[in-house]
């Protein structure tokens, strides 16, 4: 299926308080910051949200809070992927019942299944729910790569709404786009490649840097929709140092510190992730300034 959403989505962080719990007040402010700056969809409990360190009760509470706070003002997409197909199906059914607009399901990680296993995994998830499902391809984290012929096979599943691409290989992404067009949408899952993915027909961005710069990420998507390539290039050039700063250490370590710097109380990641190193803090601080991001 096509047309689930277009424009910008932010892969939301989950803010933790000093005692290690979830800081719902801060999360609410982050949601309002996104909506005020035009973000079209919020991805909650994706990789950037650190669900791997959260209990099922915490995840349920975050989902319910997000739904109530957003209240239809943007699309709500919940991360439900797992390295266990049965668990992914169960989580997807739960998210649909709670009221999610769509799902983001990362490929099974660590197990390193075959391409046949990838197809079976997504067929199981899509067959269990009626809402749109976006596949998430991030082989650097999962050890599994959705190859273009596999993406093509997925595109024939009725409620398979797209693929979030973060494989880092534009040659592969172009071939995937060729094979899935016009049955399934392509979304950028790598902020460094936002502009070229939009240029080949990507429908939107699922962005990490959007936690800090939602207005600019949305503007980039709009400029590309309007075919204003020169302006889009200028904006992407301005954002690239900040994007790089968001990945000086593993995501979401840097972006959480960046949010802290602009006045969003993100706290620090949960162990085994650590606080951003001092040298990288200085880089982040300088890049936020050079990108023109104002403190709240």
For 117-135, what is each residue's pLDDT tens digit? 999 999 999 999 999 999 9
Q: Computed over its alpha carbons, how large is the radius of gyration of the chain? A: 18
Of 136, 203, 218, 256, which is the active-site residue?
A: 136
Q: Confirm if 203 and 194 have CB atoms less than 8 A apart.
A: no
pLDDT at position 98, please?
A: 97
Identify whether 182 is preceded by a cis peptide bond (ω within 30 of 0).
yes
Is 122 annotated in the active site?
Answer: no
pLDDT at position 16, please?
A: 96
pLDDT at position 296, please?
A: 86
Of 164, 203, 218, 256, which is the active-site residue?
A: 164
pLDDT band, residue 248 (cuts 50/70/90)? very high
Is 75 annotated in the active site?
Answer: no
Q: Where are the alpha helices (DSSP H) in 147-252?
A: 148-154, 170-180, 194-199, 214-225, 229-245
pLDDT at position 89, please?
A: 98
pLDDT at residue 86 greater than cutoff 90:
yes
63 against 296, higher pLDDT: 63
Nearest to 251 by CA among 196, 195, 211: 211
pLDDT band, residue 209 (cuts 50/70/90)? very high
Nearest to 173 by CA among 148, 192, 141, 203: 148
pLDDT at residue 18 greater than cutoff 90:
no
Pair of tokens at residue 182: 């016009």
Distance CA 200, CA 229 (A): 12
List phi, psi (to 5°) of 180: -95, -15
Q: Considering the chain, what percentage of its residues have pLDDT values greater than 70?
A: 100
CA angle in degrees (0–180, nearest 5) for 175-122-81: 105
Q: Under CATH, what is the fold of the domain 7-215?
A: TIM Barrel (3.20.20)
- For the segment 12-18, the average pLDDT, to the nearest whole number, is 95
| Strands (DSSP E) found in 60-143 | 75-79, 102-106, 133-137
- For the segment 81-102, the average pLDDT, to the nearest whole number, is 97
**Average pLDDT score over the chain:** 97
CA angle in degrees (0–180, nearest 5) for 31-211-4: 70
Element (H, E) at 254: helix 253-261
pLDDT at residue 22 greater than cutoff 90:
yes
List phi, psi (to 5°) of 177: -60, -45
Is the full-model pTM beyond 0.85? Answer: yes
């Amino acid at each position: 299926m096509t047309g689930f959403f277009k424009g910008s989505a932010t892969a939301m962080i989950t803010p933790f308080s000093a005692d290690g719990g979830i800081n719902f007040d801060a999360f609410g402010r982050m949601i309002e910051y996104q909506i005020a700056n035009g973000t079209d969809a919020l991805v909650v409990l994706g990789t950037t949200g650190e669900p791997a360190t959260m209990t099922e009760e915490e995840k349920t509470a975050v989902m319910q809070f997000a739904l109530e706070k957003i209240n239809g003002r943007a699309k709500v997409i919940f991360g439900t992927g797992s390295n266990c197909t049965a668990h992914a199906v169960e989580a997807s059914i739960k998210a649909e019942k709670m009221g999610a607009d769509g799902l983001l399901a990362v490929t099974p990680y660590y197990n390193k299944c075959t391409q046949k296993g990838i197809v079976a995994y997504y067929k199981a998830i899509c067959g269990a729910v009626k809402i749109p499902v976006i596949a998430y391809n991030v082989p650097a984290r999962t050890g599994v790569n959705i190859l273009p012929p596999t993406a093509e096979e997925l595109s024939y599943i009725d409620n398979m709404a797209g693929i979030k691409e973060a494989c880092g290989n534009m040659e592969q992404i172009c071939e995937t786009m060729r094979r899935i067009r016009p049955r399934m949408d392509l979304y950028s899952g790598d902020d460094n490649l936002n502009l070229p993915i939009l240029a080949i027909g990507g429908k939107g961005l699922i962005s990490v840097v959007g936690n800090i710069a939602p207005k600019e990420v949305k503007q980039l998507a709009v400029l590309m929709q309007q075919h204003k390539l020169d302006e889009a290039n200028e904006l992407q050039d301005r954002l690239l140092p900040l994007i790089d700063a968001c990945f000086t250490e593993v995501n979401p370590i840097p972006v959480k510190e960046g949010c802290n710097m602009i006045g969003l109380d993100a706290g620090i990641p949960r162990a085994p992730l650590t606080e951003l190193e001092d040298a990288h803090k200085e880089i982040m601080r300088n890049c936020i300034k050079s990108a023109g991001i104002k403190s709240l």
